[in-house]
Amino acid sequence: MLVMYIFYTTSLLYNTYIDFNFKGEEHYLAHIGLIHVVCYAISFPLAGIMFHKGYSKRLILSIGFLCYAFSLIYFCHIIQTDLSYWDLVLPLMLESIAYGFILTTAAAFMATNIPRKHNKDRVMGSITARYVLGTFIGYSFYSNWLFRGVVRNSAHLAENLTVSNLPFTSELKKLTSGFAYKGADMQLAHQRALAVLQEKVHIQATLITIRDISFTVGILAIIVAIIVLFVKRFEMHKIISKNKYRIIPW
């Protein structure tokens, strides 16, 4: 569960991008939520059907991690300042499908390897692992990584904003003239122009950081997907000792 949430909480990267890219647009959260709901409605039943048909549990779990990998790596290659909803459909779909496959497999593994009398503990353990430890650790980790990356990349980009940088000076003069034309004095116009350029630097640094994190975690997901295929003790049981009820139909 905890390993799954290392990848599940990469949703913070998508949310950060979506927040500034679609700021001011109505119903963007509804559109994004619709993608998740539709994919959940497909991935969870599909994983259950694969269980029922006897597909390898390692394979189902590996497919889930590969979906996370493809989602993140694809996102890191397309990320820019003006993506549309349609550009984000594929990575968000893969992310949702991955969650359905991995959660179904992990929950079934816990359910079929714990005696019935400990079922309540299993449920609470699952909830604690996901919504307390997993979510808290995952979002804290990525928030910190994102913050440090943005600071580092902002400083690196700002180093190039000098008077010898012709595109920068040209843009600065253009913005300053625009604010002055609207009635601001030259000093105020210059300050506003610098503020606009600083905001652009911040956005660019954020995109670079999201891209780097997405690629790194995507590669990690591929490694995990391969490792899962070779985990020896990952078989599930129909009925274990002192557990007289079937949880998964076989």
CA distance 177 to 5: 49
Residue-level pLDDT at 54: 79
CA distance 221 to 41: 23
Helix 186-228 and helix 11-21: axis angle, to 10°? 150
Residue-level pLDDT at 59: 87
Each residue's pLDDT expressed in tens, for the chain with a length of 250 residues: 667 778 888 888 888 888 878 775 667 777 788 888 899 999 989 988 887 787 888 888 899 999 999 999 999 999 988 888 888 899 999 999 998 898 888 777 666 655 556 555 555 566 666 666 667 788 888 899 999 999 999 888 887 777 677 777 787 677 778 777 777 777 777 777 878 778 888 888 999 999 999 999 999 999 999 988 887 655 554 444 444 444 444 3
Query: What is the value of pTM for the model shown?
Result: 0.78
Residue-level pLDDT at 249: 43
Residue-level pLDDT at 68: 94
Q: Among residues 154, 155, 161, which one has the least CA distance to residue 205?
A: 154
> Are the CB atoms for 222 and 66 separated by under 8 Å?
yes
Measured CA to CA in angstroms, residue 214 lies from 56, 87, 111, 119 at distances of: 28, 16, 32, 37
Length of the chain (residues) = 250
Determine the 3-state secondary structure of 115 from DSSP: coil
pLDDT tens-digit profile of 181-237? Answer: 777 777 777 777 878 778 888 888 999 999 999 999 999 999 999 988 887 655 554
Tell me the two tokens of residue 112: 């079929």
